[in-house]
Every structure is written in structure tokens, then in C-alpha cells.
Amino acid sequence: MTAQDSATRPTRIAVPTASTASTVPPAPTGTLMAALGVIAFSLTFPSTAWGLEGIGPWSFVTLRGVLSALVAGSCLLVLRVAVPDRRHWAGLAVVGAGVVVGFPLLTTLALQTSTTAHAAVVVGLLPLTTAVFSAVRTGARPSRTFWAAALAGAAAVIGFTVQQSGGALSTADLYLFGALLICAAGYTEGGRLAREMPGWQVIGWALILCLPLNIAGAALALPHESFHLTGHSTAGLLYAALGSQFLGLVVWYRGMAAIGVPKASQLQLAQPLLTLVWSVFLLGEHLPVAAPLTAAAVLVCIAVTQRARG
């Protein structure tokens, strides 16, 4: 090697690309984003309760889907995101059925007769339900400790719902348990797809896929249901569409990319308890003693499953 070679030959230096730096934030920022996602999700039920003050349930759900799809579609268009491969569309349909249509519809129907505090405790079982679906879907074999904690959490929630409903499950409870199952399926399939494309694109394309259904549903529901845009109903609709169903998922997935699913899941354990707080301060609901106790019991069970899965 000559002196000229050593002077002129460029040295290779590993520098993070702009796309990598923008996609995966630093760990502290990732923790903040995941926490913001949890806070956003914890306000979903209170915002839905506000929306139902002036908007019928079917109109609320379909308009929520239309608004969030328009925002998601605009982002996909502006960023020139490529259309997913054909092999991804079946999975996106499962995500859409579970997260975009099924869960919002069933929980909204439940909240017509159920308090948000009651719904928060029941849906607090969602991480456990998702873990079970994921184990079945991926063929994983969790430990006995995992299954024991999962069953204990389920028993706590079922006991709470039966006690609150006077010894029998109400129609709202059936809606909520149905929402658990269908949302867990959507989360599981979304988690699988998120290994092949950014998570926000998964929910974005799922929203676009369900847009024709939501437009048709809104056209059918609006003439037959009440529609009064008060301050609460407008704020509830906008938040459910933009905060819960799109922006909350964007920061949540970016946070998971930075700190990993296990750490992000630990943050999500606080979601039911946060919803209980919002139900008191935003809606003025009376909080039965059994609600925070059951939520805390489910939180402990979920924490045990997280450790057992590791």
C-alpha cells in the first residue's frame, strides 16, 4: 500500500441510516411513547361513553372507523407506502375484523348499559387472552405457571362480573367477553404481521380495508339513530377515532420497536387502573370496592404470565 493509497482511500464507518434512526427511537423515548400509547388506550371507554351521549352506537362505531381510516389513508399516501403483498391481506382482514370493527362495536354496545369502570375490569383480561391466542397460533408451549396465572386472572374477572350482575352474566358482559376474544385474535395476527411490516402500517391498512364496510354501515345507521353533536359527543368521537384507534397505536408500536414487547407489556398493565381513574374524574361514576381490587388481581396475574413466558 502506498502513501497515496492510504491518504486517498476512504475509511468505512458504520453510520445509522436516516430511515433506521427515524424508525427506532432511543430507549428513553421509546418508553415514553409506549407509555403515551397506554394512556391513549385507557381513555377509550370514557371517550366512547361521551360519544354515546349524543350519537347512536352503530353510527358512533362506523363514523369512528371512517374518520380513522381517512387519517391513516392520508398518512400512507403522503409517505408513499407500498401496497402490502397479496399474502398479507388475509391477516389484515383478521386485524380489521378484530381491532377495527369487532372490538369497537361490541364494547360500544356494552357501554350502553355498563359503566366504564365495569368494562375496564373485564377488558383488563385482554393481555391474558391475547397471550393464550398467541400461544395457540404460534405453537408455543408456555409453562404451567403461565396457565395457572391465566386461569386465575380469568376466574377473578368472571367472579367480578357475576357478582356485579347479581349472580348472572348480563348482555353487556357477553358483549365484553366477545370483544375480548375477537380483539385477542386481531392483536395476535397483527403481532405476526408487525414482524414483516411496521406496526402502524398494519393498523393503517386494516383501517383502509374496513373503510367500505364502515361507510356502508354509517349510511345505514345515521338515518335511524340519534345524532346530536354536543361538546361531549364530538370530543368522544374525535378522540376514539384519532386518539385511540390510530395515533395511540402509532406511538405504541414505535415504543415497542424501541424497548421490546416484554417491557412495553409491563407498561400496559396499568391500563385498566387508569381507566378506573378516568371513569371517576371524567364521568363521575361511583367506583365499587370490587373494581380496583379485581383490576389489581388481574394485574398481578398478567405480571406472572409475563415472567413465566420469559
Rounded distance between C-alpha atoms, residue 116 and residue 153, angstroms? 19
6 or 252: whose pLDDT is higher? 252
* pLDDT score for 32: 85
**Which 3 state secondary structure label does DSSP give 227?**
strand
H or E stretch at 304 = helix 290-309
DSSP 120-179: HHHHTTHHHHHHHHHHHHHT----HHHHHHHHHHHHHHHHHHHHHTTSS--HHHHHHHHH
Band (309; pLDDT cuts 50, 70, 90): low
Domain presence at residue 134? yes
Q: Taking residues 195-203, report their average pLDDT.
A: 85
Domain presence at residue 6? no
pLDDT of 306 strictly over 60: yes
pLDDT of 155 strictly over 70: yes
Tell me the pLDDT tens digit for each residue of 80-90. Answer: 999 999 999 99
Tell me the pLDDT tens digit for each residue of 15-26. Answer: 333 343 445 556
Q: Taking residues 101-115, report their average pLDDT.
A: 93
Counting the structural domains of the chain, the total is 1
Domain presence at residue 194? yes
* Neighbouring C-alpha atoms within 13 Å toward the C-beta of 207: 30
Write down the pTM of the prediction. Answer: 0.80
The cell for 176 is 365484553
Least confident of 32-46, 48-62, 91-105: 32-46
Band (9; pLDDT cuts 50, 70, 90): very low
Domain presence at residue 218? yes
pLDDT of 136 strictly over 90: no
- Domain span including residue 104: 27-309
* pLDDT score for 257: 66
CA dihedral 243, 126, 212, 87 (to 10 degrees): 110
Domain presence at residue 124? yes
Domain presence at residue 108? yes
Domain presence at residue 7? no
* 283-284-286 Cα angle (round to 5): 120
Tell me the pLDDT tens digit for each residue of 211-256. Answer: 999 999 999 999 999 999 999 999 999 999 999 988 887 787 777 7
- What residues contact residue 184 under an 8 Å CB cut-off, 6+ apart? 98, 126, 129, 130, 132, 133
Chain-centre distance of CA 113, in angstroms?
Answer: 22
Tell me the pLDDT tens digit for each residue of 255-305. Answer: 776 776 556 666 777 788 888 889 989 998 887 888 888 888 888 887 777
Which of 71-75, 139-143, 285-289 is the most confident on average?
A: 71-75
Tell me the pLDDT tens digit for each residue of 157-177. Answer: 888 877 777 767 789 989 999
The cell for 137 is 397460533
Domain presence at residue 230? yes
